[in-house]
Structure formats: structure tokens, C-alpha cells
Amino acid sequence: MEKSQLGLIEQSFNVKYSDGVREALDELPDSFTITDPSIYGHPIVYASWGFLEVFGYSKNEVIGRNGRVFQGPKTNRRSVMAIREAIREERGIQISLLNYRKDGTPFWMLFHMCPVYSEKDGRVVHFLGVQVPILRRRKSLGGGIGRNGGVCHDGGNCREAVYRCCRREVCSNSIMGVDRAVSVDSVAGLDHTDVDVEGPCEASDQEKTKAIVIVNNIMSVLANYSELRGRLVNDKRCCQSVTSLLSSSLTISFGRIKQSFVLTDAQLPDMPIVYASDAFLKLTGFLRHEVLGRNCRFLSGEDTDRGTQLQIKQCIQNEQPCTVHILNYRKDGTPFWNFLHISPIRSASGKVAYFVGIQIEDTSEARGKQGLNPEMRHRSVVAAVKVAVRGWSMGASTS
């Protein structure tokens, strides 16, 4: 790992939490990781001792890596994509997943992931991922036991591996106030040779509840140590402002694009603007907080052609790109002719996540400039935005 990457990982914790947070997390016996979506590649910035025990890695082998390294040839791609989509949409997910230990042996786990929000502005600062091994027992150990009893059925002919936790631990940390569930540190030494990798393997209600309890315990630690730092975090977004809906890593990537453009969220009602470039603000005269959260129609005015507006609406409904010559208005009311190009932006799953709108003012000065014509300038911005969004959504997975 490069020194610059290591520095970012250290800063990821040191800036948000007070001293002692790692030691407090180290006392928890559960298997979990914490990742930072603002760092390129969405790396793991913390891995618990329980996680290292289950997966068979050392801490140095895990920190700085993306969670996809624990996947293998039989890991369900749809499940992986579901996790990626949850990360992109900054929401929680609980899903059964086949992962692989360092020695290559597969095992089923219940993966529970949730975003960690800044209470100040609602931005996601980390993702917390909890791994609960799904308890699997030989039928001879409890024939006829139902799902809640811990047997993983797969069509009545599942070859069951011995997959039991052997002891229970009680957490003495007063912050938790909840009896600890089954410890995971006895799982790593079990026989994995008889695991049915085809699946699916559903977790029991007890295992799902256990994952929620673990998440709550970890969030209590993070909240306590972030409060001491004066940067309180929460597992629920307290600030619902649209300004915080775009990930910090995408914001950084978009900041490198110097052209005037806005990004709207295709999944939100009325497709609000979630990003506006500095060049757009300079062109229109608006401040950023006056733009974010609004539909782009506020740039239209009395003499804006309604037929052109209808053309834009139809292209958006059909998820198709379009280029128009439209009369728009600045904040001070002065009109300007705009070479506007709108294009859908798809995530790695192929779903339209955003629309990008690129504005080039039509002036005699602009027409006389040497360089790329408007069409080429439009294409260059669309390409840059697509690379940023697809790269982020592909690299966002933690499993």
C-alpha cells in the first residue's frame, strides 16, 4: 500500500473519532469491517479481530483493500450487484452471501451493511459491514429442525457442514448494555469441505436479529467516540438535504471537470440537481445552495420555447440523449442562448442513475474560439461523468 493511501486511511479514523476508538472496537468479538467511500477504491479502514479470525487474514493483508477480494467463483453476482446498488444509493442491506477464507474454503454468511452518517450534514462518512456466519449443522445433530433451529435447507438434500459456535461471551462495555450474541472466533477452525456452494442459504431469524444487535453495538461505540471529537455520527441520516445525497468521492471527481454542467438524480421525484459545477454557477449567476435540490426548469423563462421543453421531457422519459438550442435565463433575469446537451448516466448495473446536462453559451465570442466544437465538448463531459459514475459504482462493493 502506498504511503499516501495509508495516510488517508489513518486520517479516515483520526479526523472523525477521538483517540481510543480502535481499542474500543478491538474489544468487540464480532466479525465486521468499516470502509471509507471517499477514498479511491472504497477500501477497508478497519477490520475487527473477529473478522480476521473468520477469514484467516492478518490485519495488514486486509486494511486498504476492497471487500471484493473475499468473493470467489461461486459468489452470486446478483447478490454482489445488490450490495453495490445499496452503496450507490447510500442505504442499508442484509443479504446471505458466499464468501471465501484466505485458504480458499467457502462459507455462507449473513452480510449486514449500513451507512454511517455525519449528523452535521447527513453525508456518508463510512460503511459498516457485519458478517454473521450462517450456522449449519449436520442433520444427524438435529434432524427435522427448522430454519430457526439453524439447519440450512437446500431442497431437502443439502450436505450439511458442522458449523457451530462453541461458546458465548458477554460484553462488559457499559456502552453496549446488551448481552453479546454468539462469538465468531470459534468458527475459523471448523471443517468447510462439505459446504454446499450452490445455495441459496437463508439465514435464520435469530441470525438476522444478531446482526442488527451487533450493528447497534458498534454504532454505539462510533457515536460515543465521534461525539468526543465533536463530529457526531449516526446510523440514520438526520439531514435530508439533497446536497448530501451525492457521495464525496463523486463530488471530488466531478470537481476536476471544468465545463458548465449539472447532474440530476433520476431516482428522486422531479429529478433534482445533486451537483452543479463551478462553471455552471459562473454562467448562470446562481449560488450553489440556490441550485441544489431544484429541477432544471428554473432556468427557463417567458420566451423559452415550449416545444423545446417538451422535446427534452420526452427524451428523458425515453432515457435517450438529446441536444437542443434553448433560451435560458440567468439569476439576474438576462437571457442567453444555450447549446444544451442532456444524456442519461447509467450505473454499473445498467440502470439509469443520473442525467447530466451540459451548457455551452452561444455567443459570437464562443463561435469564434478555436478548439473543440460544442458537440465534441458535450461528448467529452459526458464521457468524464460516465467514467466517474461507473467507476465509483463498480468499485463501491464491499463484498
126-144: average pLDDT:
68
Domain end point (choices 211, 234, 257): 234
Residues 359, 269, single domain; the answer is yes
Residue-level pLDDT at 160: 33
How confident is the model over 87-116, as a mean pLDDT? 91
* pLDDT of res. 232: 77
**To the nearest 10°, the Cα dihedral for 359, 362, 366, 371?**
60
For helices 77-88 and 374-395, the axis angle rounded to 10 degrees is 120
239 domain-assigned: no
Residue 183 burial by Cβ neighbours in a 10 Å radius (0-12, 13-18, 19+): middle
Q: What's the pLDDT tens digit per position in 141-168? A: 333 333 333 334 333 333 333 333 323 3
Same structural domain for residues 323 and 219? Answer: no
What would the pLDDT profile of 223-264 be if each residue is shown by its tens digit?
Answer: 988 887 777 777 665 544 454 456 666 777 888 888 999 999
Quote the pLDDT of residue 246.
66
pLDDT at 62 (0 to 100): 94
Indicate whether this model's pTM tops 0.75: no
Residue 68, domain member (yes or no): yes
Q: Report CA-CA distances (Å) from 15 to 228, 233, 244, 317.
A: 11, 12, 19, 43
Output DSSP code: residue 299: G
How many domains, the chain?
2
Q: How far apart are CA 143 and CA 54, in angstroms?
A: 27
Residue 379 lies in a domain: yes
Tell me the HSE value of 226 on the side-chain side, using a 13 A CA sphere.
21
Q: Number of C-alpha atoms within 13 angstroms, CB side, residue 156?
A: 0
Cα distance between residue 25 and residue 12, in whole Å: 15
Note whether 320 and 226 are same-domain residues.
Answer: no
Answer yes or no: is 337 within a domain: yes
Looking at the chain, the whole-number percentage of residues with pLDDT higher than 90 is 39
Q: Which domain, by its residues, includes 43?
A: 1-136+202-234
Q: Please tell me whether residues 131 and 223 are part of one structural domain.
A: yes
Highest mean pLDDT pick, 129-143, 195-209, 382-396: 195-209
Contacts of residue 307, defined as CB under 8 A and 6 or more positions apart, other chains included, come to none
Cell of 10: 489513518
Q: Are 286 and 310 in contact (CB under 8 A)?
A: no
Q: What sign results for the dihedral spanned by CA atoms 220, 224, 225, 230?
A: positive
Stretch among 2-6, 27-31, 303-307 having the lowest mean pLDDT = 2-6
Q: Is residue 89 part of a domain?
A: yes
In a domain, 51, yes or no: yes
Residues 75 and 221 in one domain: yes
Q: Please give the average per-residue pLDDT across 90-112, as a whole number.
A: 92
- Is the separation of the CB atoms in 109 and 83 below 8 Å? no
pLDDT bin (cut points 50, 70, 90) of residue 181 is: very low
The model's pLDDT over 59-71, given as tens digits with 9 standing for 90+, comes to 999 999 999 899 9
Q: Tell whether the model's pLDDT for residue 394 goes beyond 90.
A: no
**Residue 2, SS3?**
coil
Instruction: Please return the burial class of 320, using the count of CB atoms within 10 Å of its CB with bins 0-12, 13-18 and 19+.
Output: exposed
User: Cell numbers 471487500 label which residue?
Assistant: 67
- 274 and 387, same domain (yes or no): yes
Whether 288 and 387 map to the same domain: the answer is yes
How much is the mean pLDDT over the chain? 78
pLDDT value at residue 137: 42
Torsion angle, alpha carbons of 244, 250, 252, 257, to 10: -120
pLDDT of residue 185: 41
Do 279 and 388 lie in one domain? The reply is yes
Residues 5 and 106 in one domain: yes
- My answer on whether 214 and 276 are in the same domain is no
**In this predicted structure, what is the pLDDT of residue 364?**
59
Contact 345, 385 (CB under 8 A): yes
Cis-peptide, bond into residue 29, ω within 30° of zero: no
- Is 111 a member of any domain? yes
The span from the CA of 257 to the CA of 346, in Å, is 18
pLDDT at 340 over 80: yes
More confident call, 86 vs 49: 49
pLDDT tens digit sequence for 342-388: 999 987 778 888 999 999 998 755 555 545 577 888 888 989 888 88
What's the CATH number where 333 sits?
Answer: 3.30.450.20
* Lowest mean pLDDT, pick from 3-17, 200-214, 239-253, 359-373: 239-253
Q: What residues form DSSP beta bridges with 182?
A: 168
Residue 332 zone, left/alpha/beta (φ > 0; ψ -120 to 50; rest): alpha
Residues 283 and 226 in one domain: no
Residue 105 pLDDT > 50, yes or no?
yes
Is 54 contained in some domain?
Answer: yes
pLDDT tens-digit readout, 285-294: 998 888 888 8
At residue 168, the pLDDT reads: 31
Query: Is the same domain home to 123 and 260?
Result: no
